[in-house]
Structure 1
Amino acid sequence: MISDPVVIDGGDRSCVRLLLELRGHLAGLAPGTVVHLIASDPVAPIDLPAWCHLTGHAYLGPVDGAETPTYALQVADAPRPTSPESPWRPR
């Protein structure tokens, strides 16, 4: 059974703030859940794949046909933790 992706609207938040919030959202989701992140920060297409690589979440790429910049990722079974105040640094 394939469920619809969870949509998280990051709006125009900077990537640092966006990653802090995203980490919290993902912590409550089941492994394998696909997430569509709406993010207008121009750095998102660079930072999000790097953050996914760091944490172990699977970056699935831009979502085709989305009205606003949207990126897909899949929640990892056992994501690697990051620093509470710095989501781009391993704990």
Structure 2
Amino acid sequence: MRVAQSLVASPPPDITVDGTGLLCVTLLLRLRKHIDTAAPGTVVHVIATDPAAPLDLPAWCHMTDHAYLGPVPDTAPTAYGLQLATSARTTRAHAPWHPATP
């Protein structure tokens, strides 16, 4: 997994995905929809209130090869940053925890 160094100031987002009140599975479905056509290098901030987000988002980034940037400082509810990878691995359309079949 590619993890960026701890950020003093988070890069500004190109895309913000609001997952307030969503469980991580639903949040990942929403995230996937927003980034499907985004270019590699795009910075995404994901607003998440699910207590599992600090574990699930880095795990999902590891699985897809996107860079997990960590929690965005001074955000409430907490936002998490990620940067889209050039060589990202896709997931199943309705099952974001499973790699797409070749």
TM-score by length of 1: 0.90
What value does the CA root-mean-square deviation take over the aligned residues? 1.3
Gaps of 5+ in 1: none
Question: Where does residue 76 of structure 1 map in the other structure?
Answer: 85
Q: Secondary structure at the match of 2:51?
A: coil
What one-letter code is carried by the residue in structure 2 that aligns with 1:4?
P
Which residue among 28, 37, 61 is the counterpart of 1:28? Answer: 37
* 1:81 shift after superposition: 1.2
Q: Secondary structure at the match of 1:87?
A: strand
Question: Where does residue 46 of structure 2 map in the other structure?
Answer: 37
Structure 1 distance, partners of 2:70, 2:95, is: 23
Would you tell me which structure has more strand in proportion to its own residues? Answer: 2
Count of matched residue positions in the alignment of Structure 1 and Structure 2: 89
Deviations 1:29-52 (A, max 9, x none): 111011111010110110000000
Contact 2:48 2:78 in 1 (8 A): yes
Query: What fraction of aligned residue pairs are identical, expressed as a percent?
Result: 54
What one-letter code is carried by the residue in structure 1 that aligns with 2:54?
P
Runs of 4+ in 1 over 6 A off after TM superposition: none
Which residue among 72, 75, 98 is the counterpart of 1:89? Answer: 98
Deviations 1:13-67 (A, max 9, x none): 1101111111111112111011111010110110000000001111000001112
What one-letter code is carried by the residue in structure 2 that aligns with 1:81?
T
Contact 2:16 2:44 in 1 (8 A): yes
Gaps of 5+ in 2: 1-10
Contact 2:65 2:89 in 1 (8 A): yes
Structure 1 distance, partners of 2:18, 2:93, is: 21
Which residue among 4, 28, 50 is the counterpart of 2:12? Answer: 4
TM-score by length of 2: 0.81
